[in-house]
Amino acid sequence: MDEPPKILNGGNSIRPQKRIFLGLLAVTCVLFTAILAVLWYVPYVGLSNLSPRLPLILGVFFLALLVLVFMLVAMLGFTVVLGRDLFFSKRLRGVVIKLLLPLMSGVGKLCGVSKDQVRRSFIAINNQLVLAQHLKTTPDKLLLLMPHCLQFHECQFRITGSVVHCKKCGKCPIKGLVELSEKYGVGLAVATGGTLARRIVVERRPKMIIAVACERDLSSGIQDSYPLPVFGILNSRPNGPCYDTLVNLERVEEALQTFLVASALTDLPIKNDSPGAEA
Binding residues vs ligand SF4 (CB under 6 A): 151-152, 155, 157, 159, 166-172, 174-175
Q: How far is the CB of 234 from ligand SF4 (least distance, A)?
A: 20
Whether residue 142 contacts residue 210, with contact meaning beta carbons closer than 8 Å, is answered with yes
Q: How far is the CB of 200 from ligand SF4 (least distance, A)?
A: 17
Comparison of 151 and 181: residue with beta carbon closer to ligand SF4? 151
Q: How far is the CB of 150 from ligand SF4 (least distance, A)?
A: 8
Q: How far is the CB of 255 from ligand SF4 (least distance, A)?
A: 21
Comparison of 101 and 166: residue with beta carbon closer to ligand SF4? 166
Q: What is the CA radius of gyration of the chain?
A: 23
Comparison of 141 and 175: residue with beta carbon closer to ligand SF4? 175
Q: How far is the CB of 156 from ligand SF4 (least distance, A)?
A: 8
Whether residue 276 contacts residue 150, with contact meaning beta carbons closer than 8 Å, is answered with no
- β-strand 187-191 against 161-162: which pairing, if any? antiparallel
Comparison of 168 and 216: residue with beta carbon closer to ligand SF4? 168
Q: Quick one: which H or E segment has residue 189? A: strand 187-191
Strand order in the sheet with 142-147: 161-162, 187-191, 142-147, 208-213, 230-234
What are the φ/ψ torsions at residue 169 (nearest 5 degrees)? -75, -20
Comparison of 149 and 256: residue with beta carbon closer to ligand SF4? 149
Dihedral angle, C-alpha 116, 117, 120, 125, nearest 10 °: -140
Residue 27 CA to residue 202 CA, distance in Å, equals: 38
Residue nearest to ligand SF4 (CB): 155
Comparison of 149 and 234: residue with beta carbon closer to ligand SF4? 149
Tell which residue, 122, 85, 127, has the closest CA to residue 105: 122
Q: How far is the CB of 240 from ligand SF4 (least distance, A)?
A: 18
